[in-house]
Copies of this chain bind each other. A is one copy, B any other.
């Protein structure tokens, strides 16, 4: 079968690899019908060393079950399923609390060296805990939106939930990438009244407005902080969602948050240490929340709003390609020519 491999920075190839097969009785074999490229795939695309050997790519996908191991009970061949970016058992104390990112049997697609969603098929470990079945007979037009439940929408939603967005909230979202835009949609869904989107790409911020942003701030740094403060009563936003992951974006979040407010981070931090002391968070009682999104728990919660047409998060996909177009998809997302690329293997 064919699959996507990252050989090193800027070097993505689609190649023949051994067919995915069941290995454990808890596995499912899934034929991928739609996958996509994640903003977080762009970090290794930017910096992976060639000498570490090629890595299988892709952790967001939807597909049809082809076979299941003897112990799998929740899905069966023919089922359309959504796979979240985290592999979890569904039964441990953390999974039962909805914290699948702390599952005691946690795995991730990049910890499974022979699997990846940007491929024709995938072996899915812990299938009962990981996969979520889509009701039969769903309109094909809904597939892009359902695919966002795999990671990008659930991550934006996690940002809004962890930030404590409630009806009437004022929220600032930093970043007009797909996660940031879906954080806007999520904040709107949770009842936020004022949503300031910080982003500079007009096409993206226009989609942000469609998703619910009431204001767009295109400036950054001190100027951006001033603009957000003007829009939020002079003291900043009580909830700030940081959907980028760079130190600059974190510093921007510290600058635009209101005293006593919350910074909710979902962009994978490209830093380990950052300011949290008296001069940044402590004196102003700013809470730092968020983290890796337990999207598995949000899939069942959010799917009905997609199935009934309430929302259309799939609008973040501006390009659809076959597996052959995946290398170009990486290039175009990295250069910000494309917002988010959908792959139909």
Interface, chain A (partner B; CB < 8 A) = 93-94, 97, 99, 101-102, 162, 233, 235, 259-260, 265, 268-269, 271-292, 294
Interface CB pairs A-B, < 8 A, 21 = A94-B235, A97-B260, A102-B235, A162-B285, A265-B282, A268-B278, A268-B282, A272-B275, A272-B276, A272-B277, A272-B278, A272-B280, A273-B274, A273-B275, A274-B274, A274-B277, A281-B291, A282-B291, A283-B291, A283-B292, A288-B288
Chain B residues near A281 (CB, 8 Å)? 288, 291
A263 nearest CB across to chain B (Å): 9
Complexed CA–CA distance, A282 and B235 (Å): 26
A335 nearest CB across to chain B (Å): 25
Complexed CA–CA distance, A322 and B97 (Å): 54
Q: Are A271 and B277 closer than 8 Å at their CB atoms?
A: yes
Chain B residues near A283 (CB, 8 Å)? 101, 291-292
Q: Are A276 and B276 closer than 8 Å at their CB atoms?
A: yes
Given known pairs A284-B102, A285-B294, A291-B282, the reply for A259 and B94 (CB within 8 Å) is: yes
A174 nearest CB across to chain B (Å): 16
Given known pairs A259-B102, A285-B292, the reply for A272 and B268 (CB within 8 Å) is: no
Complexed CA–CA distance, A277 and B250 (Å): 11
Chain B residues near A276 (CB, 8 Å)? 269, 272-274, 276, 288
Q: Are B282 and A292 closer than 8 Å at their CB atoms?
A: yes
Q: Are A282 and B269 closer than 8 Å at their CB atoms?
A: yes
A261 nearest CB across to chain B (Å): 10
Q: Are B275 and A102 closer than 8 Å at their CB atoms?
A: no
User: Which residue of B has the minimal Cβ distance to A276?
Assistant: B274
Q: Are A288 and B287 closer than 8 Å at their CB atoms?
A: yes
Chain B residues near A162 (CB, 8 Å)? 285, 287
Chain B residues near A289 (CB, 8 Å)? 287-288
User: Which residue of B has the minimal Cβ distance to A258?
Assistant: B102
Complexed CA–CA distance, A289 and B282 (Å): 9
Chain B residues near A259 (CB, 8 Å)? 94, 99, 101-102
Complexed CA–CA distance, A102 and B260 (Å): 8
Chain B residues near A271 (CB, 8 Å)? 277
A215 nearest CB across to chain B (Å): 20
A160 nearest CB across to chain B (Å): 14
Interface centre among A93, A281, A286 (most CB of B within 10 A): A281
Chain B residues near A102 (CB, 8 Å)? 235, 259-260, 284-285
A278 is contacted by which of B99, B233, B269, B274 (Cβ under 8 Å)? B269
Please name the 10 residue pairs, one residue from A and one from B, whose CB atoms are nearest each other, closest first: A102-B259, A285-B291, A272-B277, A269-B277, A288-B288, A99-B260, A273-B273, A282-B291, A287-B289, A283-B292
Given contacts A99-B259, A273-B274, A285-B294, 7 further A-B contacts (CB under 8 A): A99-B260, A101-B284, A265-B282, A272-B276, A274-B274, A276-B276, A282-B292
Q: Are A287 and B285 closer than 8 Å at their CB atoms?
A: no
Complexed CA–CA distance, A273 and B273 (Å): 6
